[in-house]
Chains A and B, each alone.
Chain A
């Protein structure tokens, strides 16, 4: 089973700050990388699915990049707002995608102070 790691574990920023955090995964047998956002008391919400080395995806103020050769993805939030406070999870399909379940990192918990 592959190992997905995220850092930092938690992050506290002020409203308006831009921030970023990291997801690391094994570069061998890469299949896809998923980013989810999980707000307290709500369902985890899919942000991005990334597959190609060099991919960059954007949704509003949130963007993500992917480097499959070195095994990492960055998630960026520009001009953080209090509503961005959530735990951000990354995940990769198990066994190179042949198995259905995702292997998740422990998440980065972001708190944005107004």
Chain B
């Protein structure tokens, strides 16, 4: 079946502009996660959604970052007033549920964001 898809694959923007990154999870997966990898860093957790519960936003680096998940499926990560330090690969993942031992997360190909 179809995996996790993300769009766009690449995004170049100017400092101060807003950007929206989209994630389509695997159908039936109730949990959805956003991570990012900045240059020289490991994968950093940003936010996750589990079903209809309130999202865990504990990883968002600033209030310029927000995310929503509509209808328990597609998610959009929005970065307002982008800064150069926001440049990174943004990865989305989904899993059948969050927590639990076999919380295998399936990743999308990522969006490479470059802020000039």
What is the interface of chain A, defined by CB distance below 8 A to chain B?
4, 31-32, 34, 36, 41-46, 49, 51, 89, 91, 93-94, 97-107
- Chain B residue nearest to A105 (CB atoms) is B42
Q: Which of A93, A94, A100 has the most CB of B within 10 A?
A: A100
Please list 12 pairs of residues, one from A and one from B, whose beta carbons are closer than 8 Å in the complex, sorted by A's number: A41-B109, A42-B109, A43-B109, A44-B107, A45-B107, A49-B103, A91-B43, A97-B99, A100-B33, A101-B98, A102-B43, A104-B42
- How far is it, in angstroms, between the C-alpha of A68 and the C-alpha of B105 when the chains are bound? 22
CB neighbours of B56 from chain A (8 A): 99-101
Interface residues on chain B, number (Cβ under 8 Å): 30
What is the interface of chain B, defined by CB distance below 8 A to chain A?
3-4, 31, 33, 35, 41-45, 48, 50, 56, 59, 91, 95, 97-110
- How far is it, in angstroms, between the C-alpha of A41 and the C-alpha of B110 when the chains are bound? 8
Quote the shortest CB–CB distance from B81 to chain A (angstroms): 25
Quote the shortest CB–CB distance from B116 to chain A (angstroms): 21
